[in-house]
Amino acid sequence: VPGPVKNLQVVDTADGEVSLAWEEPESDGGAKVIAYVVERRDVKRKTWTLATDHSESPEYTVTGLQRDSMYLFRVCARNRVGSGPNVDTDKPVQAKNKFDVPEAPLNVIVGNVTKFGCTVSWDPPESDGGSPITSFIIELRDRTSVKWTPVQITKADELSAIVNDVIENKEYIFRVKAQNKAGEGKPSAASRPVKIMDPIERPSVPLNLVSQDQNKNSVQLSWETPLRNGGSTITGYIIQRCEEGTDKWMRCNTRLCPDLCYNVSGLKYGKKYNYKVFAENAAGLSDPSNTIGPLLADDTHFAPSFDLSAFKDGLEVIVPNPLTIRVPITGYPTPVAKWTFREKQLSTNEERVSMTTKSSFTELIVMPSVRPDKGTYTLTLENDVTSVSGDIEVNVIAAPSAPKDFKVLEVTRQHVHLSWEAPEHDGGSPLIGYQVEKRDLSRKTWVKVTAGIQDQELTVTDVMEGKEYLFRVTACNKCGPGEPAYIDEPVNVSSPATIPDPPENLRWRDKSASGIFLTWEPPKYDGGAGIRGYNVDRLQRGTDKWEPCGDMVPELKVQVTGLAEGQWYAYRVRALNKLGASRPCKATDEIQAVDPKEAPEIQLDAKLLAGLTAKAGSKIELPAEVKGKPEPRVKWTKADLVLKAEDRVSIDTTPGHSTVTIAKTQRDDSSTYIIEATNSSGRATATVDVNILDKPGPPAAFDISEITNETCFLAWNPPRDDGGSRVTNYIVERRNVDSEIWHRMSSTIKQTTYKAVGLTKFKEYLFRVFAENQFGVGPPADHLPIIARYPFDTPGAPYKLEASDIAKDSVTLAWYEPDEDGGSPITGYWVERYEADLDKWIRCNKLPIKDTNYRVKGLPTRKKYKFRVLAENLSGTGKPSAETDQILIKDPI
């Protein structure tokens, strides 16, 4: 048998292990030493336990020891004859590391929390236990649980980790442990609880606020949810209103509205209101939605109509009775009634015309009526819904006109012989006779001489010598007496005529910078001779000379012209008969010759009051009526910038009107347009909200993540501009960078995420995404090229591959994990053996090995093999370890 081994020593201790080394015996007993036998004994026991009986080299590591126990060891050499004497260790040895586990890491902080995970960071422990830290272990537990679960292991030089193995909206607590060769150290202090969710912000504004079912007390509002909820569920909405002309916004709902619609009640009839909506989540209120309004608190509008059945046979009026047309009407709001006669619109500014319109009727009164009022009257009813028109035939029957050529044929002391001719017109009714009257100049009353005579001459005998008489004759028809005809001068042979009295009631109106309109009444007494006309004079301030305003005026009115602008004038009138001019009437006060002033007033087309919405590419017009004296200056602005005429924009401004026309409208034509009119009397503005609908813009914040060998994850935000219409879907396309052809992956995507599949490993791709609404597909959002591969590498090679426990058909292999895991945790190992006769490597395991040791079974006896190990992660299989020497598979005995 062999002699005893030499220099048996304990060369190393570890947790549960003791490593021994010795030298070969001086004598092998004449036969080759084939193995060494190693035994161990707990000092508390008397029996020895075999550790191994086939150690081929003079060293061995005894495993499976209790860390807190003390052990003795002995070794002997063995040849084919038998075993030599045992050699014992000098003193007991404890199977533990020469160093301690690390202390707890410090300052564990959890940050960058999103719904996908969070970042955990820490500081290294104050002590590494005497052995370099090899890794850190991150553990977590649900806040409602007491169980800690390891979720990630990092390298020693990494003091932070991104943890994704979590569930959204759950709360977790984290801690970290350091590890060295002695094992895992104490855990750090636990972090504060962290809820896995995206950071909460206020939601974006509610979209597309619209109104419907407006009445005089309430209005129904509806809207769409915000594009972003800020990472927190929207708890409800707040609706506010503001009465037009004030800046005081009032909340309409006392409790949050959970729906996307709300009925605003308590409105004041006839008032106009603006409305806006806020969204609320856990972070607070959003900014307000777009404001709509002003909306009139009024009932539902419907088209106007009228009933002309009472006038199917026309209307007959006797002059001067009022021409009255009263027509029943319907419509809401109460329509505006316009009356037209002979292609001219009637106005209450006309002296004889009055018009009244109520909710149930409209009435036209022309008073007194005259013969020229005969004809067709057109009634037009208009409200903001539509307009309707109808005609009414009116026949005006008047008294006859004055007889013509009334004169005195003969005057004696006993009679006056008169004659005349028939009137120019009979008023539309046959004459039934003539009526002759006389008046003593000393009296004011007319006395009837005769009535109903058919002749056109008459001798008046009821006169007194020396008296002066006036005579008049009137034609009569069924409407009554017509206008009288007078003898120009009194018939008087006993007393001479005199100048007339002054005119009375001199008045003025319609002054301007160059003229004025004067009216007056005739004198009470014409001096015994007919009034031939009137002289009008003016006196300029600062002078004492009255100057005539022109020739003699035959009527009781005159338009004075030729005034000097800004000067002050007084006016007077004198009556003329055949004997001369009367004394002047009482002069007017001084009146300045200046144009009247009116502040500007702007009237928009009724269709523009609620705003204008049009499709891109169409032409829009913004017409406005502008009034004011002097003529106002007009300016249009858009978004606080003065609007100027250019290729697509034209501005047509004429006295009383201004129109902006935009051809081939574009989305950026959407804005608030303001028309401003100014003159020396003031300023007026009006606004028109224009919304041009178009295709949406490109999606925002397009990003690609979670790239693998075959897939990637696309995410984006809705377009910043949806074109004025809700985005209905998204379209995703891709192409190889070495191709010009885009392949559509999907055109029916409703969400803002998409998982692209079917990629080819290591191929480079371009992706783009489009938004689509009812007006078409907008421009794409592009992304930089990506390569279809995991964002990490395959692991490095395992090392220290060793074989042990060789049997007749198996062998045990053990190794250390690679220094580099490629950036992704190792998922397993593959063991391969080299078949020399096949000259290739063959896998020994069918499934990846989770541990760092493996027993290869089913090997043929007396055959030699080389072995190697490969590590694998999600990226694939890494480089192989260094291969073992050739190992002979045989029975150890």
Q: 338-378, pLDDT tens digit by residue? A: 999 999 999 999 999 999 999 899 999 999 988 889 999 99
Residue 324 near residue 375 (C-beta atoms within 8 A): no
Question: Alpha-carbon distance 725 to 670, whole Å?
Answer: 13
Bridge partner list, 714: 704, 754
CATH code of 718's domain: 2.60.40.10
Question: Alpha-carbon distance 212 to 221, whole Å?
Answer: 6
| Rounded alpha-carbon distances, angstroms, from residue 265 to 243, 268, 313, 543, 549 | 14, 9, 49, 69, 66
70 and 11 together in one domain = yes
Q: Would you state the structure tokens that stand for residue 619, as one six-digit string?
A: 């032409």
* 333 lies in some domain: yes
Identify residue 123 by its one-letter amino acid code: D
Read off the pLDDT of each residue in 262-290 and give the average, rounded to a whole number.
93
CB atoms within 10 A of CB 795: 27
122 and 145 together in one domain = yes
* 101 lies in some domain: no
Q: What are phi and psi of 162, to 5 degrees?
A: -95, 120
Question: Alpha-carbon distance 835 to 866, whole Å?
Answer: 8
Residue 819 near residue 873 (C-beta atoms within 8 A): no
Which residue matches tokens 């004997």?
579
Q: Measured at the alpha carbon of residue 609, what is the angle toward residues 604 and 610, in degrees to the nearest 5?
A: 160
Q: Would you state the structure tokens that stand for residue 296, as one six-digit string?
A: 């009139």
| Rounded alpha-carbon distances, angstroms, from residue 886 to 57, 751, 835, 853, 882 | 16, 60, 11, 18, 12
* 495 lies in some domain: no
Question: Alpha-carbon distance 537 to 34, whole Å?
Answer: 156
β-pairing, 272-281 vs 284-285, is: antiparallel
* 603 lies in some domain: yes
Question: Which pLDDT does position 240 carry in this prediction?
Answer: 96
pLDDT > 50? residue 303: yes
Question: Of 296, 319, 350, at which residue does a domain stop?
Answer: 296
CB under 8 Å to 51, separation ≥6 — which residues? 38, 39, 40, 60, 62, 73
Q: How confident is the model at residue 528 (pLDDT cuts 50, 70, 90)?
A: low
Question: Of 366, 397, 428, at which residue does a domain stop?
Answer: 397
Question: Which pLDDT does position 497 carry in this prediction?
Answer: 57
Question: Which pLDDT does position 529 carry in this prediction?
Answer: 64
pLDDT > 70? residue 496: no
Task: Say whether 789 sits in a helix, a strand or coil.
Answer: coil
Q: Nearest Cα to 548, choosing from 532, 564, 557, 560?
A: 560
CB under 8 Å to 58, separation ≥6 — which residues? 5, 21, 22, 23, 24, 36
231 and 274 together in one domain = yes
* 100 lies in some domain: no
Alpha carbon 178 to its chain's center: 54
Domain assignment of residue 361, given as a range: 302-397
Q: Where are the beta strands (DSSP E) in 499-655?
A: 504-509, 516-521, 533-540, 547-548, 557-560, 568-577, 580-581, 591-592, 598-604, 612-615, 620-629, 633-638, 641-642, 649-654
Residue 572 near residue 649 (C-beta atoms within 8 A): no
pLDDT > 70? residue 456: yes
Question: Which pLDDT does position 804 carry in this prediction?
Answer: 92
688 and 604 together in one domain = yes
267 and 221 together in one domain = yes
* 811 lies in some domain: yes
pLDDT in tens, 500-527: 899 999 999 988 889 999 999 999 887 7
Q: Measured at the alpha carbon of residue 20, what is the angle toward residues 17 and 25, in degrees to the nearest 5?
A: 155
510 and 580 together in one domain = yes
Read off the pLDDT of each residue in 28-55 and give the average, rounded to a whole number.
92
> DSSP secondary-structure letter at 822?
T
387 and 412 together in one domain = no
pLDDT > 60? residue 495: no
689 and 602 together in one domain = yes
738 and 683 together in one domain = no
* 369 lies in some domain: yes
674 and 614 together in one domain = yes
| DSSP string for 664-680 | S--GGG-EEEEEEEEET
Task: Say whether 485 sits in a helix, a strand or coil.
Answer: strand
375 and 360 together in one domain = yes
Question: Alpha-carbon distance 712 to 758, whole Å?
Answer: 10
Q: Does the CA dihedral 536-540-541-543 come out positive or negative?
A: negative
Identify residue 286 by its one-letter amino acid code: S
Q: Is the pTM of this model over 0.85?
A: no
pLDDT in tens, 744-796: 999 999 999 999 999 998 899 999 999 999 999 999 999 999 999 888 889 99
> Side by side, which strands form the sheet with 712-717?
700-705, 712-717, 753-756
Question: Of 71, 94, 117, at which residue does a domain stop?
Answer: 94
CB under 8 Å to 145, separation ≥6 — which residues? none
**How many domains does the structure of the chain reveal?**
9
Residue 432 near residue 407 (C-beta atoms within 8 A): no
β-pairing, 87-88 vs 70-78, is: antiparallel
Question: Which pLDDT does position 893 carry in this prediction?
Answer: 65
639 and 675 together in one domain = yes
Residue 328 near residue 306 (C-beta atoms within 8 A): yes
Q: What percent of the chain has pLDDT over 90?
A: 68
Q: What percent of the chain has pLDDT over 70?
A: 99
Read off the pLDDT of each residue in 172-185 and give the average, rounded to a whole number.
92
Q: Tell me what the pLDDT averaged over the chain comes to.
A: 91
* 667 lies in some domain: yes
